[in-house]
Structure 1
Amino acid sequence: MKHRIIALAALVGLFSSSCGTDRDAGKTAEKQNAAAQELTPAEYVNPLIGASTSTGKAGIYHGLGKTFPGATTPYGLVQVSPNTITGGDNGSGYSYEHTSIEGFAFTQMSGIGWYGDLGNFLVTPTTGTLHTARGKEGVAGSGYRSGYSKKEEKAAAGYYAATLTDYNIKAEMTAAPHSGMLRFTFPENKKSRIQIDLARRVGGTSTRQYVQVVDNHTIKGWMKCTPDGGGWGNGDGHADYTVYFYAQFSKPFKKLGAWKADIPKNWTRKREDIESDRYQERVAKAAILDSVTTLEGDHLGVFAEYETRKDDPILFKSGISFVSMDGAEKNLQKEISGWDFDGLHKQAVGLWNNALSAMNVSGGSDEDKHIFYTALYHTMIDPRMFADVDGSFTGGDGKIHQSNDYTRRTIFSGWDVFRSQFPLQTLINPKLVNDMVHSLLSLADERKKPYLERWEMLNAYSGCMIGNPALSVIADANSKGIARFDKEKALKYAVQTSNEFGNGERGFTVEPFGISNTLEYAYTEWCTSALAKSLGKSDIAKVFEKRGQSYRNIFDKTKGWFRPKDKAGNWQPWPAEGRMQDGYGCVESNPYQQGWFVPQDIPGMVTLMGGSEKVATDLTTFFDKVPENMMWNGYYNHANEPVHHVPFLFNCVGKPWLTQKWTREICRRAYHNSVEGLVGNEDVGQMSAWYVLAASGLYQVCPGKNRFEITSPVFEKVTLRLDPAYAKGKDFTIIAHENSPKNVYIQSAKLNGKAHNQCYLDYNDIAAGGTLELTMGPQPNQKFRK
């Protein structure tokens, strides 16, 4: 089922007579195409793409996209979104196949597994009997959750709406960068209310809460979230943060009620605990306090009760801060001074149109545009701003800091996003790249850590996944000349990080994940070398250049592939499945998939593997055996990151037409304008960034080297808006003449009017501005192969 946002103008001509002439039909088609072109970028966005955690439909425990459909702004601190589940491996808090909504939270994560986190400050409009527990899905009246109408669910850039059928309440929401607003339209009822579960958290629970009544329409408070309450990695991700709020109701309340659950001190409060019946029974039997002015406890909720008439609107807004209650108040006052919901919604759409205009596409189908602009939208959620409107933020040392020369950011899904998300941002948003590097360097200073974190979340050194991806981002920014951070400090941390987590003098890494770690460390050790070399540190560069060749130490010539070693340097036993064995020295992959990752030295890798022709043949098998739907599989597995660069390796072995063929196939088969439109986790922008780049006709295999591969664009024209503070040019345009679903092969190319016979570009060619013209055809031109 597809959920498409369609402008009324796009319907012109749909009801004209089927008896018209071919010319009439052509004119109708032209009108429809013209109407489609009139849509703004934000109108193409469908936030429901990927909004499913279903493991059944994915065929693997990782599930599908795991995006959230709620309202947010570009890289905003606040995301006001529906939550359908607490617990399980449901990082976004929402999954389309669920039949009820618990409420609407003000913070969310996008496209992640590992049980997730955030989902704080859950607001639910209800009527009738007060419920203090969320209840069970499918059991009406068991809690405050409600069924909702799928037909009336709407999701768009900066807006979400749903009708809660148990209460006959329409809920709408929109957002500003640090704050959000909800509009509830109530039925006639003497016991209507807005209730807030302060304990709620996606992957567990907040462990301490506080609320204070400021006046008869304002409350403020905080929610403390620690590893003891589960969250990121069910506590193993070390997330430890406090969410502060300053919230107001449009209709004054006579009194504010509360509930307080008695949770025994000896009970643990991880994910599996708060999901248990005994825990929920305690919450359901919480003491209800008729009126409070201040309250602090371990499991609290509050509610404002009203008598409503039919279609009575009550609005609710809140500023959110990770610094203080005063910060939350300042955020709200700066961004949402009144109660103009529609005006705030319009403002959010304006922010999205401005952000999404960093790229403009024409040609392709209406479906392609929905997929493209939604993918671009998903790349603009993280890394989100972490500072308040005045630039203040809570540092890794727990102290309040002020950021004057950069925006403090958080949620760096390093292992995923160094591959496509950050290379994309270097083109369209280089300031964001610098902000993230500043943030990681400052965090290491504040935490007094000798190394840079690989997966940062709200100041936590979570240690999630493998490798040293921050070094990739640093080296890439430096190579492209867009670095605006302390390079000497960056090098210091790069060296320390590589020494702390790397192949070192031994030249390989042992289990777990001996193949994955050895290959990824070799790449980031090369990144350290490249950074050192650019700074004139030849002694450091020499050491890490050698380590960048460590991948050779685990290549077994007798097997013709990479193989893990034990501590003594002996080969681990070769499995019966060979390089197809999942988990054999690899994380979330098999050796066949992981073994292609030597981006820093592709010629060396190809030589080890037997030369270009043998590699091209092996790559062809790797792709030919992929299932039509491209769901999780043992060959080219687009659902997970380790293989994302592999389609572009055909460019490097003299067969670029196969890169052109397969990137178009992946764009067609792995991305759709539907809830199941992503074959794997969105992973904080990575899955979508791959599409944005590939559909544009470009891809960077090795961040840190300025080579961008050229491939077959989905669109006839793609324009990238360049940042004049970082690039010489105003924009860079890719034009694909005669492009179509059949004409996927590049026949010839021109760069700024001159013949271009290479299947790649230098970053500086892009940053200088100009035009790459491709002429497309239905058959490969094997002379276009350099």
Structure 2
Amino acid sequence: MFVFDENFGQRQGFLFVLLYAELYYLNIIQNIMEIKLNLKQAGVLAIAATAALSVQARGGKRLSEYVNPFIGATTNTQMAKAEHGLGKTFPGVATPWGMTQVSPNTITGGDNGSGYSYEHTTIEGFALTQMSGIGWYGDLGNYLVMPTTGPLHTYRGEAERPEEGYRSRYDKESETARAGYYAVRLTDYDIRAELTATPHGGVMRFTYPENECSRIQIDLARRVGGTSVRQYVECVDDYAIRGWMRCTPDGGGWGNGGGKADYTVYFYTRFSKPLERYGVWSAEFPEGMGRKLENVTSPEFAEAVRRAKVTERPDRMEGDHLGFYTEFPTREGEQVLMRTAISFVSLEGAEANFKAELKGKDFERYCEKAAALWDEALSKIKISGGTEDERTIFYTSLYHTMIDPRDYRDVTGEYVGGDRKVHKTDAFKKRTVFSGWDVFRSQFPLQNLINPEVVNDMINSFVTLAEENGTGVYERWEFLNAYSGCMLGNPAIAVIVDAYMKGIRGYDVEKAYRFARQTADRIGHHPELGYSPGGSGISETLEYGYFDWCVGEWAEALDKTEDAGIYHRRGQAYRKIFDKEKGWFRVRNADGSWADWPEKGRLQEWYGCMECNPYQQGWFVPHDVSGMVEIMGGRDKVLADLESFFENTPREFYWNPYYNHANEPVHHVPFLFNRLGAPWLTQYWTRVICADAYKNSLAGLCGNEDVGQMSAWYILASAGFHPLCPGETRYELTAPVFDRVEIALDRRYAKGRKFVVTTEGNAPDACYIQSATLNGKPYNRCYIDHEDIVRGGELHFVLGRTPNKQWGVE
């Protein structure tokens, strides 16, 4: 069934939407795509459609209806107990892997990467591009659209005084979001804004009060965490405009310029009202004024934008800080539609994207098509059992994992490459936004199973980018071709090797391997020492060692024996920073001496570590657990230490010095119990984390979503398996949250059609595996191989309330 807001069912198109939805389920959508029904015709046909739809409703909700886009949509630092904030997701509309994300923006400055935080009380406008779940000031938030009435404001205004700008307060009770649709009422203007998206575009519908001077205005300069540095706009005809916005590091953005983001957004927009009274504002800045975050949030910047010169009815304009507006009278309740397509390639590309996706004017139809795309994407995994909240958490998590890596191509197959030239390919989809340090752990292992073609695209994108930009190396945090250098490690290597080991090989393997070697050799490796000294030396030594091991595994699989030996030896680097006296990993200086041990010992955050402490980072030797256990003092000592690590963790799982699920370095740790011969503890703690760290609420993500990683962990763990070491084909088994999890397999990469995990005796307090069968045969291992999954079949667990300490013990 549809979930409509309170006014939706009163609209003229309601019966047609019901009819359209039911016909979709009958798989004859193609036959009605161009049918034009008037209200009388819709009413005649809707009787049967409504009856049929009620039958469908009894069969359960559409998968897209389980998506709650507000989960994690806050940057609140107090609740998170850390400066990193909570989920940092956006509540607006996207399509699976789409180029656009049409969403409200409540803030330009600060560490608010999505441009939105639920507790903010005003909205600056609605942008066409966003990032999901990231820190470091963020980027995108381009093409900020705001419907207004009354005097024209060229500056956004301050949150405390929105009436001094185009910003507006909004009615929180009116704010509605679901897969394919977002709506809110802007109280300062009494305007209802509704949003939806297509893969390359966005559709906005504004419902106005009676007013002689209603308006749509577009801040072409605005950007999350900064500004674009040059803009262009021109009128195409009486209803359309097009143009571009140039974004460089000089305008802040990703890492306030430190992320090296350098891109241009092209746009093509058509309005449903003619362009009769329109204009462009252009601001000029004092000599020497910068354009980064500290500048665009300054009083001097605000004053310069307030004094912007307005030019009426220009054919075209180019400048450093432009905005466009169109004005028109409106009747009470009059709706104005605005359709926009974007491109990162060219004006022609934006128009081609528009013609391919945005010809129609039926807003509800766009909403339905977006929801239908999500129905299809979410159907890769079907679950039963669990509570309504747990099903919502699951499908919202799955939704969050399929936003990035987004498709960077136009419908023509063109994309801008690392050499800043236009390339064209139909062989793969050029993808971008790779939050490497986060997503190699769960997000890409998940996609290896449910969307292997996306992973194959990403690897082709890695390889072509490294070739196009002439570096011959992979970036750890790639953003629109930029090598940002954010975080540490060589995670692209792990993603590629894990995919290769699991049969995903639709790329130039030899070239991909060569670039992996070059990446490992040039980035992070200290051949003269065999470890990383000082600074973040613990994190760097452990993580680079793991990525070196990945290269060694790949070399071995390719029969490159000499290479395998080199990189496997480098994978033992962790041994060189283990201090037997302290019994833990310690920062080591370049001269071989130990750095001072901190007062808090291994609980000292940032001591030798990236965003964590040595206690958390020290467990990261996934490729050699037995060796790690040996130097730590043996199985019993390590098991006791690991139990203490979890028992000291606060149950809300917000930022803390123990098992800090709010950040990625520990995400593999619950599965270490399997390797220590205590699989019942993996079962217990993964259930606790699923229950307490994830909620169907605003604070439902205990830390940053990080481009799908936080959600992917939940998907895999709640399904009953998760990798400990990407690059191996082994998954660690645990107790599923749901009674049945059915994973659709891609026959291009798998022998089977589906893999099903079922449970018997499942209950919130029945988290312990008593026994298991694989395809009807007894199964007594606490792990499963990738080959067993992609062959298809059923893994069945019998669960109980007390541990079975004989099952699955290695």
TM band (smaller chain): over 0.9
Q: 2:406 aligns with which of 375, 384, 387?
A: 384
- Alignment match, 1:132: 154
Report the Cα distance in structure 2 between the residues aligned to 1:703 and 1:108, rounded to whole angstroms.
29
Structure-2 residue corresponding to 1:623: 646
Separation (CA, whole Å) in 2 of partners of 1:35 and 1:326? 43
CA contact (8 A) 2:5 2:176 kept: no
Letter in 2 for 1:515: I
Distance 2:164 2:639 in 1: 59
Aligned counterparts, 1:149-548, within 5 A: 149-505=171-527, 506-548=529-571
Contact kept, 8 Å, 2:127 with 2:142, in 1: the verdict is yes
Whether 1:584 aligns to 2:610 is: no
- In 2, are the aligned partners of 1:52 and 1:676 still within 8 Å (CA)? yes
The one-letter code of the counterpart of 1:160 is: Y
Structure-2 separation of matches of 1:106 and 1:294 = 22
For 2:288 and 2:237, the matched residues in 1 are separated by 36
Distance in 2 of aligned mates of 1:216 and 1:57? 49
Cα shift at 1:306: 0.4
- Equivalent residue for 2:616? 593
Report if aligned partners of 2:121, 2:169 keep a CA contact under 8 Å in 1.
yes
Aligned residue for 2:21? none
Aligned residue type for 2:202: G
SS of the aligned residue for 1:295 comes to strand
Of 595, 599, 612, which residue of structure 1 is paired with 2:635?
Answer: 612
Bigger mean CA offset, 760-769 vs 533-542? 533-542
Look up the match of 2:69.
47
User: Counterpart in 2 of 1:715?
Assistant: 738
Deviation digits for residues 80-109 of structure 1, max 9, x if unmatched? 100000011000000000001000000000
> Equivalent residue for 1:15?
none
RMSD of equivalent CA atoms: 1.4
Give the Å deviation of 1:693: 0.4
1:574 aligns with 2:597: yes
Report how many residues are paired. 759
The CA distance in 1 between the partners of 2:414 and 2:274, in whole Å, is: 31
TM-score when normalising by structure 2: 0.93
Amino acid at match of 2:603: M
Distance of 2:697 and 2:559 partners within structure 1: 51
Distance 2:332 2:476 in 1: 52
Amino acid at match of 1:388: D
Q: More deviation in 386-395 or 262-271?
A: 262-271
- Cα offsets for 1:666-705 (capped at 9, x unmatched): 0111000111111100000000000000011110011100
8 Å Cα contact 2:71-2:698 kept in structure 1: yes
Provide, for residues 175-233 of structure 1, a one-character-per-residue CA deviation record: whole Å limited to 9, x for no partner.
11001100100110000000000000001000000001001110000000000000000
Q: Distance in 2 between matches of 1:368 and 1:593?
A: 28
Amino acid at match of 1:548: G
Residue 66 (str. 1) matches residue 88 (str. 2): yes
Within 2, Cα distance between the matches of 1:5 and 1:560?
Answer: 57
Q: Does 1:38 align with 2:65?
A: no
Contact 1:99 1:138 (C-alpha < 8 Å) held by counterparts: no
Instruction: Indicate the larger mover: 541-550 or 373-382.
Output: 541-550
Instruction: State the distance in 1 between where 2:346 and 2:646 align.
Output: 52
Whole-angstrom CA distance in 2 between matches of 1:288 and 1:82 = 26
> What SS does the aligned partner of 1:153 have?
strand
CA contact (8 A) 1:124 1:194 kept: yes
Per-residue deviation, residues 586-641 of structure 1 (Å, max 9, x unmatched): 00000000000011111111111111211111111000011121110000000000
Q: Does the CA-based 8 Å contact 2:200-2:342 persist in structure 1?
A: yes
Pairing 1:738–2:761 present: yes
Is the partner of 2:300 in helix, strand or coil? helix
Question: Where does 1:42-121 land on structure 2 (aligned, <5 Å)?
Answer: 42-121=64-143
Per-residue CA deviations over 1:452-494 (Å, capped at 9, x if unaligned) read 1000000001000000000001110111112211111111111
- Within the candidate set 582, 587, 594, 1:564 is matched to 587
Supply the AA of the counterpart residue of 2:71: I
C-alpha distance in structure 1 between counterparts of 2:377 and 2:592, whole Å = 51
d(CA) in 2 for partners of 1:306 and 1:512?
Answer: 59
Letter in 2 for 1:115: Y
Letter in structure 2 aligned against 1:409: R
CA contact (8 A) 2:534 2:595 kept: no
Matched, 1:671 2:700: no
Structure 2 residue runs of 5 or longer lacking an equivalent are 7-53
**Structure 1 residue 37 displacement after superposition:** 6.2
For 1:263 and 1:5, locate their aligned partners in 2 and report how far apart those are by CA, in whole Å.
48
Is the CA contact 1:216–1:255 (under 8 Å) kept in the aligned structure 2?
Answer: no
> Judging changes above 3 Å, is the alpha-carbon distance between structure 1 residues 542 and 5 closer, same or farther for their aligned structure 2 residues?
farther
Conservation of the 8 A alpha-carbon contact between 2:277 and 2:328:
no
**Secondary structure at the counterpart of residue 67 of structure 1:** coil
Secondary structure of the equivalent of 1:141?
Answer: helix
Q: Name the CA distance, whole Å, in 2 between partners of 1:152 and 1:463.
A: 41
Aligned partner of 2:438: which letter?
D
Q: Partner letter of residue 714 of structure 1?
A: V
Match of 1:726 in 2: 749
Residue type matched to 1:274 in 2? V
Q: Residue type matched to 1:488 in 2? A: E
Amino acid at match of 1:117: D
- Alpha-carbon distance in 2 for matches of 1:585, 1:266: 39
The residue type paired with residue 274 of structure 2 is: P
Task: Give 1:138 deviation, angstroms.
Answer: 2.6
1:778 Cα offset (Å): 0.3
Going from structure 1 to structure 2, the CA distance change for 1:37 and 1:55 (only over 3 Å counts) comes to farther
Residue 674 of structure 2 is matched in structure 1 by 651
The alignment partner of 1:619 has SS state of: helix
Cα contact 1:210–1:223 (8 A) shared by 2 = yes
User: Offset at 1:265?
Assistant: 3.7
Aligned to 1:780: 803
Structure 2 distance, partners of 1:467, 1:675, is: 32
Distance 1:680 1:352 in 2: 25
Deviations 1:555-614 (A, max 9, x none): 111111111111111111111211111111000000000000011111111111111211
Q: Report the secondary structure of 1:123's partner residue.
A: strand
State the alpha-carbon separation in 2 of the partners of residues 35 and 749 from structure 1: 34
Conserved? CA contact 1:102–1:124, under 8 Å: yes
Task: Give every structure 1 segment of 4 or more consecutive aligned residues whose post-TM-superposition deviation is greater than 4 Å.
Answer: 4-8, 34-37
After superposition, the Cα gap between the structure-2 partners of 1:36 and 1:67, relative to the gap in structure 1 and judged at 3 Å, is farther
TM-score (norm 1): 0.95
Pick one of 790, 802, 808 that aligns with 1:767.
790
User: 2:49 maps to what in 1?
Assistant: none
* Corresponding letter in the other structure for 2:506: R
Equivalent-residue separation in structure 1 for 2:633 and 2:283 (angstroms): 66
Structure 1 residue 256, shift from structure 2 partner: 2.3
What code does the residue aligned with 2:174 have? Answer: E
- 2:713 aligned partner, one-letter code: W
**Counterpart-to-counterpart distance in 1, 2:5 and 2:376:** 19
**Per the alignment, do residues 292 and 6 of structure 1 end up closer, same or farther by CA in structure 2, a change over 3 Å counting?**
closer
Residue 635 (str. 1) matches residue 661 (str. 2): no
Q: What secondary structure, in the 3-state scheme, does the structure 2 residue paired with 1:152 have?
A: strand
Q: Which runs of 5+ in 1 are unaligned?
A: 9-31
